[in-house]
Every structure is written in structure tokens, then in C-alpha cells.
Structure 1
Amino acid sequence: MRLIRLGTEPSAVGADVRAALSTWGVGDAVLGGVALLGVRPPDSPRELDAVVVLPRGVLVVVGVDLPDPAMRLEAPLNGQWKIDGWPLSRPDGATSPAAEALEATAAVARRIQDMRGEPLPVTTVVAVGPYVGQVVQPTVDLNRGVRVLHPKPTTLLAAARELATSDRRCSADHAAKLVAVLAPTGVPPTRRHLVAEGFSDAEADLASAHTVLLPKVAPVPTRRKVLPYVGGAVVAVLLVVLLVVSLSSGESADSSASAPPTPPPTTVVVDGRSFAPRGADRTDDCAGHAFGDVRAWLSEHVCMQLRRAQFETTVDGRGAAVAIAELSLPDATRAAELHGIASVVGSGGVTALVGEGRAWQGGPASFDRSAIRVTTKGAQVRITQVVWSEGDQDPADPRLTAVIEQALRLPATQ
């Protein structure tokens, strides 16, 4: 277990949590994973004593300080907590401190989902202290993936093994993204360190990783007696489709008026830096949005799709903007040809969305004199540009080139 201390623990029992985690040592000999101590993930309602990212799950550890040591603690999630038979009273009137822990866990799960992180199970550990001899929980609460315990090395380890139960081990690349998503102010461990902590060594493209859940499909009957009904079933389905289309077309005006607004794109975090989306589009007319030698080459060759996106970030308190152009070509050979042309200074490129009237308040007027990086992956050519939102531009500015390294992993869609 690798420990990353980002702040002080918000509870006194948090020191016991840290001590228990530290006894496992670095590496995966005991359990593995990365523990973020004293962290407050974005949108979390409170600071958390720990968020433990494991190869097969994420544990949200919330500390609860009891007024006195206890031999027996009755800790239902939705009922009155009792210490040695006496009701636990709190200044805020709450009967169960678990409600705050569940709220924090829900915020962490939403953050991971919104940021398109690895869909590991997110579960809750409520660490109680200064000392509790026995904790009694209803079975239904245990089945919900919540453990209330005094954080000794053995009890915390047992909870982690019971709760982190994903069928698939998280990769080191996805683990780095999870750490960056949950602690955007820090820097994730290196890939080598994450592999040493038990995360798989599988390569992953963070900019284009997607998770698709496919429902189970019943086997198709193959007995001959089913065949005479296939034609009738198809006709029935077509009739239903036609009916739905006719009804929806007649009510399109009303439904469009009442349709909920599309939620704004989600901020993307790479290596602890947040990038706010500022527009995107896609088109089949690659040459129509290019200029110079790049436009001339695209006019004579097949380009299947151009995807462009813009992002905004902050570097040392100064605004910076990112423009991405990703061109999909028929094969790697043509991609290499275009890469050779686009990499030459002064040979042209792809017009950023800002140059076509897609500017935003506080953003740059253009991407002239930008820091540029042209990369190729298979049959795709990617042109990444970074400029300061205001002020003088220097393409060789090391701060901009550092942002480009992170921007290479941003998605070309929003």
C-alpha cells in the first residue's frame, strides 16, 4: 500500500487509519493499492480521512470520533447508534453518523463516473474510535457494502478484501487516472510504482477509454418449428416501429420544447491538472478546415473524419488554452505522410475552432504562435496546440510545452 498524504485527517481516529494502512508496507505483498490521506475530492461534502484505490475497488474511509471508548457499538445505517446500550447523542441531532459517510461515498462514485474513470466498486468504511471492542451491524447494511469498524490493521485489511471484489484488475494507467480524478491537486504515482502496488501492466489509452456494459442475450432458438413464425415476428416489429415513428414525428415540436437541456461537458483531469471543455465538433470535410500545405495534401487524399476540441486550464495562475485536431486516415502509411508534412514549421495545419468564431470569454483570440505537437497513432494524426489566453506568446515557453504533454491525453470529443 502506497500512502499519499494530501492533508491532515479531519477526525482524531484518522490517525489510527493512517497507522493501520502504513503497517501493510509498500508493494502488493499484503494488499497493494494507493491510499490518499486527508483528501477532499471535488464535489465531496467534506474532507475524507482516506480514499483507498485498490486494484479491485475503491474504499471511502470516513472517521467518526465517539465521545468515549466503547465495548459494544450498535451501528445501523438508518437507525439510532448505541454505545454500550446508551443512545449516541450529537450536537447536530443526527442519530447515525453513517449518513455523512454514505453521502461522501456517493460523491466519490459520481466523480469517478463523471470523469469516465475505471468503473470499480466504490464502498464505505466508517472508522470509529478512540476504541471499540465490538461493532454490531445489520446484515442488510453489510450487504450494501458498508463496514463500521475500529481501524486496526487486521480489521481494515479484512474489510478491504471483502469489499474490493471487481472481477477485473484495474490497470496502472487507469489507476493513475483515478488518483488524478480524486486528488486533482497532487501528482499520481508513476506507472512503475502502480504496477508494484498490484495494478495490472496492461496498456490503456486514457483519452479514448470507454466502458460498455452489454446485456446478456438469450440463445437464439434453432429448432425448425420456430422458423415459420420469424416472418410474422419481423412484420410485427416493423409495424410497431412505423407506428412509433409516426407518433413521434407528429409530436416532435412539443417534445423538443419539453426535453431537458443537455448537461455541460465534464472537466477532464490529467496528471492533477483540470481542463475545462470549451467546444468541440466533427466533420468529414477535413480539407475545408485546414490551411497551407496540410490543406493541399488533404485535398488530394482521403480523410475520413476530422474531430476538433478546445479546453481551458490554468498554469501558475495564468490562463492557457488547448486546441486539438484529430484526423482519421485510411491507414498508417497515409497518416505517416501527413505527419511528415504537418510537423514542418510553416507548412500549415488545421484551423482551431476559435478561428471559426467559437471563442469563449477569457479565451485567446487565436492560436497563432502556439506551442505545437504533431503525433501519430495508427491511422490517426493529432495536432495539439497550446497558447496563453492573454499576453505575449512564446512557442518555446517550457510551461506551455509541459501542458502539451498532458494535453496529448485529452479526448478529441466532449
Structure 2
Amino acid sequence: MCSETDEMGRGSVRLVRLAQQPSRVAEDVRAALASLGRGSNVVGGVALIGASPVEGRPVEAVVVMPKGVLIVIGVDLPDPALKLEAPLGGPWKADGWPLVHGDTSINPATDALSLSAACTHKIADVAPGAGPIGTIIAVGPYVETVDQPAADLAGSVRVLYPTATTMLAATVSLATAPRPRSVQQARELIAALAPDAPPMPEEMLLGEGFSAYSDDEPTVIRENPLVAIAPTVPVQHPGKGKRPAKPAAPPVPPAKPAPPVRQAAPEKPVPPARQTPPPAAATAPAPAEPAPKSPRQSKTVKWLPVAAIGLLIVLLVAAISVASGGDDTASTQTPPPTPATSPPPPSSSAVENIQFTSRASAADQKCASHAYGDVQSSLQQTSCSTVRRASFASSIDGRAAAVTIAVVEFPNTEQANAFKAIADNPGGGGILDLATETNQWQGDVPVFEGAAYQSSLDGKSVRLIQVVWLPGPSTPDDPGLVRGAKAALELPVNG
């Protein structure tokens, strides 16, 4: 039964309470969702707390996000644990001790996975094309480290103890639609999953990151500029009638060199020239009428183009003399605009017969904000000096791959060694990919799950490498990816 609706907007994700959550870890789930702030990968969403996509079986939350849907299901463990080994298809171990849940369950998450599958089918039915649907198995009361096999991490289910850090990392890897869903799509999905939820204003949903346009509307927008160009075509038609007048306009400016003409011809023709406009105006359609006038006037008219040409020659000579008389610094300044007009091609490097093409590179000191998992926690405690990140497109054995590199620099070697040990720990987190954050990938956007991993230590700096197939799936021990990761250790990274 749904309780009174309670909206909460403490964080970027808006919480809407629908019913009591079924597990003890539910409070930790709510706190983690409420703490999700705006970032380069996650922009809000609506968390339906206690929603029941499958009638009579509530879950901790269904989070409708701009680029995906997350089903959060809680699983209570008998005791806290420092390390939980949690394969989805095998028995779990807490600090080395096996965990069972029921007589027929393989592990404590068996029932949760069954409920997740039912919820996924229901969401797909009520909202076809809803985008990626991921599942978070939230375990508690407390687990310091959760170890999932690489094969499971390549899928759409994450097992974690809910904190702001772990929830953010799972959201980044699971909500991966190429573009955000529209406000209308979000409303329809929320209404289908939670009919008792209050209506949500468009301004609020836009603030949570949903798009103002549906999938077909951007196409219309792209066509509008083409339609706007159409009126410019008929506008040129009236100009056809004015084209005979446009050649007559140039002789008017050359009238300024009248002084040299007056020296070449008597001033007597000038008064008749002032009397000629009335008949010319009366016979505007025939501009040739002034020609039959007196011979003196025709000579003056003939001299005007000659004088104009002479003036143009003088100006041309003057321009050439100015250009040739310029110093060497002027000539050296002209080449730079040429390369500036055309963007430089993406730089590429070849290492171990593997070609790497740069997609993005940058450097700053906001180390923790670009990290996730234990790596982020480490950088929050020990700040780095600089983090340089780079993304590369590559081809390994004829197959497209994506490479993300982070070079983290520290004030001393001791901090660098400690950081490398944390980053090398499987499931310990890492550094977010730059091109993914800044939308600079061309075509498919890589998902760095099951990536081949390499790291190196160079004095005070630690280099972290992840390589995946594009598109996936990928495995950490794939020979091609491992070879690419080792080659990437030699790539220059410029921030």
C-alpha cells in the first residue's frame, strides 16, 4: 500500500517516497541516492522509493534517469563484512565464510535477481525503448569491499554497499543511453511505474536533466534552418530588374576625379552637363540618349573612364609599394592565419604496431571529482598535484578499440606508491574517461567494463590504462586488449 507521497530534493536526484522499503539497508539506499550530486556524467533523475513495478513486490527504488533506469533491490546480510565475494551465479563468501539464503538459493541475491528480471520485463512492456535498464543489489548492514567477477561487471548488475561513491560509479556505468529521454517520456514512465506519484512540472524535470524534445523533434529543428534559407532565393529575383542600373553605378564614383578632367577639357561643357539630367530622367529606360549630345560632352564622358582607370592604376601601384616596402615582421605574420582557418587533424601515434588516434586530452587539479570507487576516496584524503587524462581511438588486430589514460601526479613518491596499490586492487575504482565526460567520441561511446588494465609508476606519477573493444563486450584477459594496454603505457599524454 502506498503511503502519503513525500518529495525530497536534497540532492540532484529527486526522491519520491511511495511506500515503505522492504529491507534494513533501505535507509542507506535513500541516503546514497539523496547524496548524488550533479556531475559531468550524471545529471539528476527521479527515484521512486518503494515502487512496485511487479504488483505486490516492492523494491528499494526505481530510479528514472535521463539516460537509463536503475532498479535498486536490498539484500540484508547476517553481519557486517570487510570483504564480500559476490558472484551472481555462485555462492557468496563474507570474509571467507560461505553465505546461504534459503534452502534452494545459490546465494542471498537469488531472489533479488529473480525480482529484477520481472521488473525489467515490466518496464520494457510499459515503456518500449526505455533505454538501458540496470540493477543494483544493495547489500548491508555494512561491507567495506565487494568483489564481483569481471564477467559479471560486464553485465547490467552491480552488487555494492550503498554509498555516494559506489552509487555514483554504478550509475555512470549503467545509465549509458546516447541521449537523454524527453520530459514527456519521463512522465509516461513515472506514471506507469507509480500512478500515485504527484505530477511533476516540466521545469523540475528539465532541471533533472531530461530533454525538452522527443526523439523526432530534433529532426524538425534541423530542417528549420533550411526552410529559412528558401525566402532568400526569390528575394534575388527583383534584383534582375536592377542589374542594368548596377553597371551604371560604377561611373558615378569615378566622377570624383573630375578635377583632372577639367584640366584636360574646357569648363564650358560643365553647365550643359547640369542641364542634361532632366531629359535623361525623362528617358530613364534608355541610358544611351546622352551619347548623341554634343561632341564635347561625349569626349568628357570618354575621359571619365580613362581617368578612373588611371586613378585605379595609381592606387594599385601605391598598394604594391606599401606591400613590398613592409618589413619582414609583416611577412612573417601572414602565415599564421592560414593554419588557423582549418582545424588541425587529430594527432596519432603508433606503438608496437598499434595505431592510436587522439580523441581528447586535458589536465587539471580536480583529481577526486574525476575518480570513482576506492580511488576517489583515496584522492579525497590525499590530493594529487595534477591529473592528466587522454582518450584514444585505436585499432588492434583489425578491431576497433577505445583507450582511456590517466596520469596522476603526487607531491612525493610515497603517496604515488600508496595510490597505485589502491588503483591496482580489482574493483577498487578508477579515473573516469575524458572523452566520455566531454562527449568527444565519434560514433559508439565505449563502456569501460571488463577493460584490460595496466598501470605504471614513474617517480611521483602513476599512469592508469584501460582498454576495451568498441563496441564490447570486453574481458580483462583478452590478449588483444592486454597488448593494447601495454602499448598505451608508452603513449605521450599532454594536458
Query: Over alpha carbons, which structure has the higher Rg?
Result: 2
Task: Determine which structure has the larger helix proportion and give its number.
Answer: 2
